[in-house]
Structure 1
Amino acid sequence: MAVGNIYVIAAIAVIGGGLFGFDISSMSAIINTRAYLCYFHQGPIKFDENGVQECNGPTADVQGGITASMAGGSWLGALISGFLSDILGRKTSIMVGAVIWCIGSVIVCASQNIPMLIVGRIVNGFSVGICSAQVPVYISELAPPTKRGRLVGLQQWAITWGIMIMFYISYGTSFVDGPAAFRIPWALQMIPAILLFFGMMLLPESPRWLARRDRWEDCLAVLTLVHGKGDRNAPFVLREYDEIKGMCEFERRNADVTYLELLKPNMINRTHIGVFTQIWSQLTGMNVMMYYISYIFSMAGLEGNNLLVSSSIQYVINVIMTVPAILWVDRWGRRPTLILGAIGMLTFLFANGGLMASYGHAAPAGGLGGIEAQSWIIRGPPSKAVIACTYLFVAVYAISWGPVSWIYPPELFPLRVRGKANALCTSSNWAFNFALGYFVPPAFVNIQWKVYILFGVFCTAMCLHVFFLFPETGGKTLEEVEALFTDPKGIPYIGIPAWKTKSQRRRAVHLEQTGVAEDEEKRTNATVQHNELTTAEPPEA
């Protein structure tokens, strides 16, 4: 018997997001440890005056390649997930991703050299690409409009939990001697994938995918299980079933779906919005903060255990500050959350850039501690301000772009293209994740504090982009969102300007409770009252 509680369904499915979090901190917590730096050391072997080997690890370029290799695999995995999801279903594709993650983790754990480590991370990335693209689609196709943002946003919360848990595991194993210091956490990251695989066996398939396969009885059974509490005639179940049926009948009159359809006139606008949502989420600089936080805090004067513990604080902030977004993003709406988030992030990025430029100076040749990317030094009260601004930046991202960048893209597209569309959007996330993971260590070497200014400019651009072109989708059914982009005949048109669109949460709550939209109910009541007045017998004289 499948699980029908939508919160349990989401809690199991978003473990797929946790895999990405595990990868982030398994790298950020390890790249500054002596075990990692010595095992993957490049260049001539040198010893200090005490006869202890100097371990500088990979060069900045190579470390960028190691970090970015996971994102490269994720880009390919996200693209392929569109075909996989349409053929096998949302549920099965996520289970395939879990199996691939275990294979990649075995290779990473057993890595004997840098090429083997990169191959393992590419395989892991392939898994993350599949899960990160299809988990939001799966949840959005099961969730009611009033809870869709909250439930899809759980993916980001799972990512933050994965980051924090893996960081502390890696911190604990950093006290172990030898390569076991990094092999143990790289092996333990298989556990969530195993839980995900077996957990997904208990969950239903997406009712909208079942409808596309003409499995109407199964579709109705899932809607009854998740939304009807066993009652096939519940108003909301019947309403959802009719909307899905109507959308499927309309879509069958259209051509078969390929990625090229996403570039056609009736899709290009929403494709551009979905793709840029994911691109901008990377250009905020957040994942740079996550992967290379130890570099940043080292430049601010933190060392040893103090460095790792201080770095971990931002992961705790990330977990805690994601909670308000999950609880209230459906009330706030997508647009205000994204716009205010961009404003907050650009403020702290420019503040950090200004502090480093005004109070810092270049590190000696070869970088601080022999690590090239640690190319700048800032000390005293300004260094504490840099750390504080970094924490505040993380808090703003966690409450805004973190969850909404996963919630928003699946809401934009009709059923027939949703799997491939979200795969394309997510692949753009991973393409930029790859580019930035590779770019940042050399950027710290070459442009130093100006890295912060660069990401501050990106946050300014994304704020303007969202204001003028991103419509509000909060509180609308997935079928109603279609009306934002096309007329009743499916012809693309320019409707209400993005800045005038509003959340319809109140209407959605009424619809979920009664099965009838509030405005439809008012029209029906008015008609009934009119008929009663016109048919009533005239009063006696």
Structure 2
Amino acid sequence: MGGPAAVSAGEVRSYEHLLDHRPWYKNTRLILLNFWIVILLVTSSTNGYDDGLQSLPQWQTAFNHPSGGALGLLGAIQNIGSLCSLPFAPYLADFMGRRSCIILGACLMVIGTVIQTASQSVHMFIGARWLIGFGLNFAATGAPMLISEIAYPSQRGQITSLYNSLWIFGSFIAAWTTFGTFHIATSWSWRIPSAIQGFPSVIQLIFIWFVPESPRWLMYKGREQEALDILAYYHAKGNAKDPLVEYEFQEVKTAIQLDREVASSVGWLTLFKTPGNRRRMRIIIAIAFFSQWSGNGLAVTLDLNRVLDAVGVTDPTIQLLINGVLQIYNFIICVFASMWCDKIGRRKLFIAATAGMLVTWVFETICFAVYSKTGHAAAGHAFIAMIYALAYSPLIVTYTVEILPYNLRSKGFTIFNFTISLSLIFNQYVNPIALQNIGWKYYLVYVAWLTFELAFICRYLVETKNRTLEETAAIFDGDDQVALISHKTASDGLERKDSDVRVDVDEKESI
């Protein structure tokens, strides 16, 4: 159960000498690949599209000012829908492929947004939100795995981190859409934001047919030539004999062969059977909870309007404006963390984010307490200024996907999504009640919890930067597993020296 020091080595990629170090934007195949990845990234935008309708008086009037349990259900129903699809999503992703999972999810979300936009009653609205959540989980299971499995090796960490950063982008679009429609007097003030939530899914349904399937999934299904063609086309301009393609192909093939040897015994309990898998799940479950239980459910997303009410900011226009500016700030910070995750490292970013949130939350608690006792507006304004985000949004998906071996990736990622849904539902039901009854003192709970988070991250989180998916997954199972994959890869004569020379198939194509 070793700590991070045990795996801090390996700062240089084992495949570094095989990479094309010229800028990706000078390679038309990588431009095309990254365009397909952008189509997959928009899944997260749909997930983050919290439309902020509760701040709109028109929405409140349309549904008779819901409160108590009804309001809690309206907030939680999308995540309840996600929970309902969790038992099915990993099997669809493994049986029919990552793309099929995304296609089904996008179809269900489009139908859900149409029903939500046309809602004539609160029950119709709740049903639509449930269907959106049900479909969302299929897409959110397939998309990040497909992104990590088709990305160019040197870009995988940054691009996969951008996946969850686009969650913030979805919140950004939702915040400014509701701000823009606020002054529409009719029900279109909330119907327009509802309709826009389905736009990313429509884009996906148009382009998903051209997105390459996961080479790892194809190889697992015995379609090795198709997998090799995809790797060659996008990673080496069509050259199947390129050293990097040969390295990737053989490494994935070897890892899958090893997985097949234990495939008959792989099930949900496998996630907890071995010491390595227990280490994985301990970290995955923890960061899933941490991503939602770090105070962000109160001060950043779902209950922001209630928190602003509590510190004296009750004007809906000001609330919507604060929400919009906050999402811009969060998006910038998350993109920065995504772009630097391979240079700074996952562990350092997690520690910096957790420590920053703890310090900020202490000051927020003080400001909230001062305002509650004195009513000084300055304390309320200072509270609003101290909202912090850095590593959790971009890195939680990246880290979860990359530490899981192929045969456990969909199941482990399902546990991750299940944990997030549970923690979100808890936030949506418990936070409003606790905030109403004990006010600023509820913030002390998060001070204690963030202290625990920081201790956990420092003790258990391991560094995974600059490794392939197979190497990253193997570090949890010990050096013997890494050595076995490396030995089998080397036995086929696919290891290359620094003097390897690339062979370009299409000499005319710009690289």
If the TM-score is normalised by the length of the shorter chain, which range does it land in? Answer: 0.7 to 0.9
Which ranges in structure 2 are unaligned for 5 or more consecutive residues?
1-28, 483-493, 501-511
Q: CA 1:110–1:3 in structure 2 vs 1: closer, same or farther (change >3 Å)?
A: farther
**Secondary structure of 2:48 counterpart:** helix
Of residues 76-85 and 274-283 in structure 1, the stretch that sits farther from structure 2 once superposed is 76-85
Task: Tell me what 2:32 maps to.
Answer: 5
- Distance in 2 (alpha carbons) for counterparts of 1:449 and 1:127: 37
Q: CA 1:407–1:482 in structure 2 vs 1: closer, same or farther (change >3 Å)?
A: closer
- Give the CA deviation at 1:521: 6.0
- Distance in 1 (alpha carbons) for counterparts of 2:396 and 2:247: 28
- Give the CA deviation at 1:86: 0.3
- Give the CA deviation at 1:211: 0.7
Task: Tell me what 1:110 maps to.
Answer: 118
Q: Is the 8 A contact 1:14 1:135 kept in 2?
A: yes
- Give the CA deviation at 1:410: 0.5
Q: CA 1:16–1:204 in structure 2 vs 1: closer, same or farther (change >3 Å)?
A: same
Q: 2:238 aligned with 1:234, yes or no?
A: no
Which of 401, 406, 431 is the equivalent residue of 1:410? 401
**Secondary structure of 1:5 counterpart:** helix
Q: 2:76 aligned with 1:36, yes or no?
A: no
Q: Is the 8 A contact 1:111 1:117 kept in 2?
A: yes
Q: CA 1:387–1:487 in structure 2 vs 1: closer, same or farther (change >3 Å)?
A: closer
Of residues 295-304 and 351-360 in structure 1, the stretch that sits farther from structure 2 once superposed is 295-304
**Secondary structure of 2:393 counterpart:** helix
- Give the CA deviation at 1:3: 8.3
Task: Tell me what 2:289 maps to.
Answer: 279
Which of 302, 317, 325 is the equivalent residue of 1:291? 302
- Distance in 2 (alpha carbons) for counterparts of 1:466 and 1:405: 13
- Give the CA deviation at 1:467: 1.3
Q: 2:346 aligned with 1:337, yes or no?
A: no
Q: Is the 8 A contact 2:289 2:423 kept in 1?
A: yes
- Distance in 1 (alpha carbons) for counterparts of 2:280 and 2:215: 23
- CA radius of gyration, larger in: 1
Which of 39, 43, 48 is the equivalent residue of 1:21? 48
- Give the CA deviation at 1:311: 2.3
- Give the CA deviation at 1:113: 2.6
Q: CA 1:66–1:331 in structure 2 vs 1: closer, same or farther (change >3 Å)?
A: same
Task: Give percent identity, aligned residues only.
Answer: 26
**Secondary structure of 2:88 counterpart:** helix
Q: Is the 8 A contact 2:55 2:316 kept in 1?
A: no
- Distance in 1 (alpha carbons) for counterparts of 2:413 and 2:87: 9
Q: 2:177 aligned with 1:169, yes or no?
A: yes
Residue 103 of structure 1 aligns with an amino acid whose one-letter code is I
Residue 338 of structure 2 aligns with an amino acid whose one-letter code is I
- TM normalised by structure 2 equals 0.85
Q: CA 1:198–1:8 in structure 2 vs 1: closer, same or farther (change >3 Å)?
A: same
Residue 183 of structure 2 aligns with an amino acid whose one-letter code is F
- Give the CA deviation at 1:490: 5.2
Q: CA 1:4–1:219 in structure 2 vs 1: closer, same or farther (change >3 Å)?
A: farther
Q: Deviations over 1:59-83 (max 9, x none)?
A: 1332122111111112233442111
- Give the CA deviation at 1:7: 2.0
Q: CA 1:287–1:88 in structure 2 vs 1: closer, same or farther (change >3 Å)?
A: farther
Task: Tell me what 1:389 maps to.
Answer: 386
- Give the CA deviation at 1:180: 2.1
Q: 2:414 aligned with 1:423, yes or no?
A: yes
Q: CA 1:460–1:9 in structure 2 vs 1: closer, same or farther (change >3 Å)?
A: farther
Q: Deviations over 1:292-328 (max 9, x none)?
A: 2222223333314223212211011112212211211
What does 1:18-97 correspond to in 2, within 5 Å? 18-22=45-49, 24=50, 26=51, 28=52, 30-41=53-64, 57-97=65-105
**Secondary structure of 1:290 counterpart:** coil
Q: Is the 8 A contact 2:78 2:129 kept in 1?
A: yes
Q: 2:260 aligned with 1:263, yes or no?
A: no
Q: 2:220 aligned with 1:209, yes or no?
A: no
Q: 2:432 aligned with 1:441, yes or no?
A: yes
- Distance in 2 (alpha carbons) for counterparts of 1:101 and 1:282: 23
Q: Is the 8 A contact 2:402 2:473 kept in 1?
A: no
Q: 2:442 aligned with 1:459, yes or no?
A: no
- Give the CA deviation at 1:414: 0.9
Of residues 243-252 and 72-81 in structure 1, the stretch that sits farther from structure 2 once superposed is 72-81
State the superposition RMSD in angstroms.
2.3
Q: Deviations over 1:37-89 (max 9, x none)?
A: 21222xxxxxxxxxxxxxxx111332122111111112233442111100111
Residue 292 of structure 2 aligns with an amino acid whose one-letter code is Q
- Give the CA deviation at 1:378: 4.2
